[in-house]
A and B are shown apart, each in its own frame.
Chain A
């Protein structure tokens, strides 16, 4: 298992978020935790709303596999903060930096008590991040003191040299900090109690609590290249410090990380699979992929609506529905008819194998009700996923004066929070250039061949003639064209429905209440 072999894999961000969200929820014990990616930003958690923000893999040093291991370790630390801390302050000021450093040590110990299998990964992470730690000799003044404190507290040693008074100050502060962490662990004390001890550490370090820390967070990148032999030596050193009985074989096993290699390979294969199934090619057709991964999709999740909708279609999962008939040839009418006005039934197979493409209008006309509109479409997509229906979702809007057709969900993808994030970041703006969008989508639809293309729109396209012609060409491909008009009230819904009728759609529906969208679409599946 050579390093080069591992280097070949490339991980897609959506695949990363998928496993990251799963693990963060289990590790933190908070099922509504979400993970977002922000390029270049240090790992950070907002404990109040359970949001973990991590950099993408390129932030880290080493091979792709080593980068993944560091990313995963950072995710674990932030999840442990959600599980065990009540506060995370900004790393920008000395006070917050010190509190967070103390908490890193405390939550690592608490976390390893529960997640024993993380020990080797924590050692690996410490080893590899140590290589990117700044040399103290290259730092000056207060920065040097703070960095030395962080290094010494978290690892038990420092990188570079400290002299005279500086060394003594750091020593004393770390001794006190260790006592604080020990006391907190032993007496089950909270983050607030630890925060009360931070002024004493600042006093021992003789620094200003409001000093800005241009240094980045503990264990982060400064931009050195990585030597694998240096890594091996560093891990060996940590292993010796932690447990002298461990031998060289264990060091190699920690550096190799064989226990996670298969997981990484599997995720990399998944990344390649989604890529080869048209991610790049769809973009070549002129479609755009939303690219922000620092989006909180929870704002457009209406769990009540989703639950109600799922409950309404739940019996479809069995594949059968009971239909009451006026006559039959099996039951004893004398015995049952008296109490049951319609006692006979036949089983009628529902068609949930219909392939659907959804096109969502995000022109400025829906701007006022954008969130409600998104909530309704999310509930619809969750229900389609629940029913196992094959579907794709596209949206159009205008961005920087250009009409964009966005890929929200590709047909081959499984619906996940990533798709919800794609939708969440589309801002409603611009007009309704339906014909242009249909022309853009045409080659994609030829590949996907949906049974139905459902367009949700305000029903006022820029060019009626061109839309009629595009709709006709879709129909000639055997795609059932359905238009759903979105009106702000019953009158406007009726008007929009009338407009759509003139656009050659095979079926037109109109809704004035956005929550009705999912039911209207799902009703099309029964045909």
Chain B
């Protein structure tokens, strides 16, 4: 997939510079941060600026080795090997984006490890031991969510060592969050004031989640969604309820009411 060169990304913590230098030095990069902090947007923008092809894999417990490497299929009586995304990207070059790598199962990581070591090659047991060597401009960027997130596991040290450059991407400060939202939605001064309140709410919820007082941490996507709803004429309090509060109902009524109380305290009736 060729990334969209027109996309806007606010590089508020100077990640591009590190990414560029790591790319130049052929050092694979690991981006660490909670969900919804713009990790994927950063990679897409970086790839589009380089005019490279982006190969993405989104890992989950169900991602199997065959998705990555490929598998044999029968076509009109002929058995052939269909390459997975890892092999395609190694052959074609470009950027391989391994999203939420720490959600992957151990067998998947083991295969990946083989391709990521200094030899940059993989032996295809699925295709008669064929050796695939990566193209010179093959580059890998992976992201991981903090371990507190559901379904995440610690990456084994040997996989971590394949990504010597590590960028931390946390939730941005309020003024940056405002700029990011404004890049997606144009807001009036009045709406901007409501947005500031929404950020205050979101930051409170993020802090509570980091202390395990709540089980969910709102992302930048929620901030953008909030701006879009108030743009559509939904009142700030109502928008806050549907975007920020309702999700907590799944952990019990008291959890939901705690968040609703924050909304009641922040937004005037």
Contact = CB atoms under 8 A, between A and B. Distances in A.
Contacts of A262: 257, 260
Given A116-B267, A253-B269, A263-B260, A26 B208 contact: yes
Contacts of A317: 150
A115 B266 contact: yes
Contact of B268 (A19, A26, A116, A336): A116
A40 interface: no
Nearest to B266: A117
Contacts of A22: 208, 213, 258
B123 interface: yes
A194 B129 CA distance: 80
B153 A335 contact: no
A364 interface: no
Contacts of A115: 265-266
Q: How large is the interface on A (under 10, 10 to 19, 20 to 34, 35 or more residues)?
A: 35 or more
Contacts of B263: 117
Interface in B223-269: 237, 253-254, 256-258, 260-269
A114 B200 contact: yes
Contact of B261 (A23, A120, A270, A332): A23
A23 B264 CA distance: 11
A157 interface: no
B203 to A, nearest CB: 9
A315 B212 CA distance: 17
A322 B106 contact: yes
B211 interface: yes
A263 B263 CA distance: 12
B208 A259 contact: no
A26 B207 contact: yes
Interface string B114-130: 10000000010100010
Judged by DSSP, the binding face of A is helix
B154 A117 contact: no
A31 B256 CA distance: 19
Contacts of A270: 253-254
Nearest to B126: A332
B36 interface: no
Contact of B262 (A23, A253, A259, A336): A23
B122 to A, nearest CB: 9
Contacts of A314: 147, 153-154
Interface string A321-357: 0100000000110011000000001010000000000
A27 interface: yes
Contact of B61 (A76, A311, A318, A335): A318
B161 to A, nearest CB: 14
A238 interface: no
B107 A259 contact: no
Nearest to A269: B253
Given A19-B258, A23-B258, A315-B153, A259 B264 contact: yes
B204 interface: yes
Interface in B66-117: 106-107, 110, 114
A311 B153 CA distance: 10
Interface string A33-51: 0000000000000000000
B151 interface: yes
Contact of A118 (B123, B147, B265): B265
A468 interface: no
Contacts of B197: 116
Given A263-B260, A267-B254, A120 B269 contact: yes
Contacts of B253: 266, 269-270
A117 B265 contact: yes
Interface in B173-206: 197, 200, 204
Among A26, A259, A311, the most chain B Cβ lie within 10 Å of the Cβ of A26
Interface string A160-180: 000000000000000000000
A253 B197 CA distance: 23
Interface string A111-132: 0001111111000000000000
A260 B110 CA distance: 54
Contacts of A318: 61, 151-153
Contacts of A31: 207, 211
Contacts of A253: 269
Nearest to B210: A31
A86 B150 CA distance: 40
Contacts of A322: 106
B267 A117 contact: yes
A18 interface: yes
A25 interface: yes
A117 B204 contact: no
A345 B264 contact: no
Interface in B148-171: 150-154
A260 B264 contact: yes
A406 B61 CA distance: 43
A72 B265 CA distance: 11
B264 A117 contact: yes
Among A117, A262, A331, A347, the most chain B Cβ lie within 10 Å of the Cβ of A117
Nearest to B201: A26
A332 B253 CA distance: 52
Contacts of B237: 117
A386 B61 CA distance: 20
Contacts of B261: 19, 23, 260, 263
A315 B262 CA distance: 33
B269 A26 contact: no
Among B61, B212, B268, the most chain A Cβ lie within 10 Å of the Cβ of B268
Contacts of A266: 253-254, 256-257
Interface in A115-161: 115-120
Contacts of A335: 114, 123, 125, 129
Given A31-B211, A114-B200, 17 more contacts: A15-B254, A18-B254, A19-B257, A22-B208, A25-B208, A25-B213, A26-B207, A26-B208, A118-B265, A262-B260, A263-B260, A267-B254, A311-B147, A311-B154, A332-B123, A336-B114, A347-B106
Interface of A: 15, 18-19, 22-23, 25-27, 31, 76, 114-120, 253, 259-260, 262-263, 266-267, 269-270, 311, 314-315, 317-318, 322, 331-332, 335-336, 345, 347, 386
23 contacts: A18-B254, A22-B213, A22-B258, A23-B258, A114-B266, A116-B267, A119-B268, A260-B261, A260-B264, A262-B257, A263-B260, A263-B264, A266-B253, A266-B257, A267-B254, A267-B257, A269-B253, A270-B253, A311-B147, A318-B152, A322-B106, A335-B129, A336-B114
The 4 closest A-B pairs by CB, nearest first: A332-B125, A116-B268, A26-B204, A263-B257
